[in-house]
A and B are shown apart, each in its own frame.
Chain A
Amino acid sequence: MLTEEEKKEILEEVKQYPYPAVACIDALKIVQHHRGWVSDESVKDIAQILEISNEEVDGVATFYSRIYRKPIGRNVILICDSVSCMIMGYGSIYEYISKKLGIAFGETTSDGRFTLLPISCLGDCDHAPAIMINDDHYNNLTVGKVEELLASYN
């Protein structure tokens, strides 16, 4: 069940569009903002409110890489694995984080503290290697800097 607040926010988005289905991505983002991810149940709820099929909503939800269809950790680490970061050594950053946290790309630590994901170019290529943690960009990274950074997230 969507909460009253989620419903209200979704209907607010619907208002500015010619028909409700246009708000599909907004609705997914709203639910994800409140719950961290989008469950099968939420997909159905969104479909109902937007008057489209569950499959249509799921089709959209699974297309976009920033919509999570599985639970994620409290903090999400996105490591840029595109070409400028590769040249500048994202590999050593990945290896350090992966070893330190004991998880590979696509995994979450058992305490739910971190999820680790690859991401394509973050637009920080002149300060590579670059990563994002939650909404923040970090660049010109070294293993030492990453060590400090990780310690600052709970």
Chain B
Amino acid sequence: MERPLTKHIKPGSPPLNLKDYLQEGGYNGMHKAFKEMKPAEVTSLVKASNLLGRGGAGFPTGVKWSLVPMDDESAKPKYLVCNADEMEPGTFKDRYLLEGNPHQLIAGMIITAYAIQAEKAYIFIRWAYKKAEAELRKAINEAYEAGYLGKNILGSGFDLDLYVHSSAGRYICGEETALLNSLEGKRGIPRTKPPFPAISGLFGKPTVVNNVETLSCIPHIVENGADWFKSLSLTGTGGTKLFGVSGRVKKPGVWELPLGITVRELLEEYAGGMADGYKFRGALPGGVSTDFLTEKHLDVKMDFSTVAAAGSRMGTGTMIIFDDKTCPVAFIHNIEKFFALESCGWCTPCREGLPWVEKILSSIEEGTGKMEYLDVLKFHTKYLGPGNTFCAHAPGAAEPLQSGLNYFYEDFVRHIDEKKCPWR
């Protein structure tokens, strides 16, 4: 099984430095792009590879790049931003790539910047990822020294400067337009779309925002081609994916596997099955802003369209396992409290609705809930849902709530009937 993204990552040891990475063929993709390809050809290749964004929404990467104006002098400078904010609870995949192979990301960013002709690039990294930030800065310095960054890269006439910006906290800064406001030194509040960042982004200029894992795929696609990339997945979707499992399993962890592997394989073969004494009741397949999957979904294939067809979302691909010894009301309450706290406060359903949801869940958990509260929760899943708010934060919060109410309804009712939490 090929594992291009993690081949050179050895947990516990430092990442390869530039010299060693070059010996392993690192930066081949970058050299190939500069020598053999025009910017538009890189974009077409990425489109053909069917790479879907790994930040959670699964938007086709090549399509995003092709929205960037290419021959408009007034649209300069253009920017590339790597989203390394990774704050989705239950998610720990970008950290693995950042700490394990920063040069792979840098190579991907150079190629991407070349494709869209951006002259400045930023890595927006979460403040808590201190080790990753240190490794990145080290690798960026090496890349400058080698002439891969800076002026006239490899004699191509193309210039690129790459900066690291460490965040100041807040989940919402991972939303791409909030991230841009934050990079501009403002409160991290999402912007209206359209215009999309590809047209008007950082400082009002065309900007592509891509996730760490997305950008890390680029050098391999350029080096080995679109058909090779598609053949990596089991379902033709394109590529491998970093999958993770946390919760009460025997071996929690993160692995690079083909897209299209089943939930069961991930849980049983890679995570070693449930820990002794615990039973599987459900899973959030890709962080807390995805709908529950349950026992009947164990054979669902983990790729974007198949997980969506099963009523959830692939999200970040890092799965949180929900077991029989954890109270579902407490589990969902914890998640909604997170969303209520992290709301940027811009729009009413999210700012007012989420704290209300949180209070209701708290009262049900404490045994003081009433049956009509369940209708209030259902009402909220509708008005927090898509189309009623400025960004996808509130719809994300609605997903575990609506699916939780659906699959674990009886457990909610038991709290109300018994006037206490049956798990305590």
Chain A residues engaging chain B, CB cutoff 8 angstroms: 16-18, 21-26, 28-29, 59-60, 63-67, 81-84, 86-88, 119-128, 132, 135-137
Contacts and interface: CB of A to CB of B under 8 A. Distances in A.
Interface string B324-360: 0010001100110010011010000000000000000
Contacts of B253: 126
Contacts of A67: 168-169
Nearest to A122: B128
Contacts of A21: 185
Contacts of A124: 92
Contact of B87 (A26, A120, A137): A120
B91 interface: yes
A122 B5 CA distance: 22
B187 A60 contact: yes
Given A67-B168, A83-B334, A123 B184 contact: no
Contacts of B188: 63-64
B81 to A, nearest CB: 14
B334 A28 contact: no
12 contacts: A60-B187, A64-B167, A64-B168, A84-B246, A84-B320, A86-B334, A88-B247, A123-B86, A123-B126, A125-B91, A126-B253, A137-B130
Interface size class of B (residues with CB under 8 A): 35 or more
Contacts of A83: 89-90, 288, 320, 331, 334-335, 338
B168 A66 contact: yes
Contacts of A125: 89-92, 244, 246, 252, 318, 320
B185 A84 contact: no
Given A17-B185, A64-B188, A137-B128, 12 more contacts: A29-B168, A63-B344, A64-B170, A83-B320, A83-B335, A84-B320, A87-B247, A119-B128, A121-B91, A124-B92, A128-B246, A137-B131
Contacts of B338: 82-83, 120
Nearest 9 Cβ contacts at the A-B interface: A65-B169, A64-B168, A66-B169, A82-B89, A125-B246, A24-B185, A126-B252, A121-B89, A84-B246
A25 B182 contact: yes
A22 B326 CA distance: 45
Contacts, number: 118
A23 B165 CA distance: 11
Nearest to B248: A87
Interface in B288-305: 288
A60 B185 contact: yes
B184 A22 contact: yes
A28 B168 contact: yes
A22 B180 CA distance: 11
B127 interface: yes
A121 B87 contact: yes
A132 to B, nearest CB: 6
B186 A24 contact: yes
Contacts of B130: 135-137
A150 B95 CA distance: 26
A127 B252 contact: yes
B186 A60 contact: yes
B245 interface: yes
Interface string B182-203: 1011111000000000000001
A52 B124 CA distance: 24
B176 interface: no
B200 to A, nearest CB: 15
B170 A121 contact: no
Contacts of B89: 82-84, 120-121, 125
B341 to A, nearest CB: 8
B365 interface: no
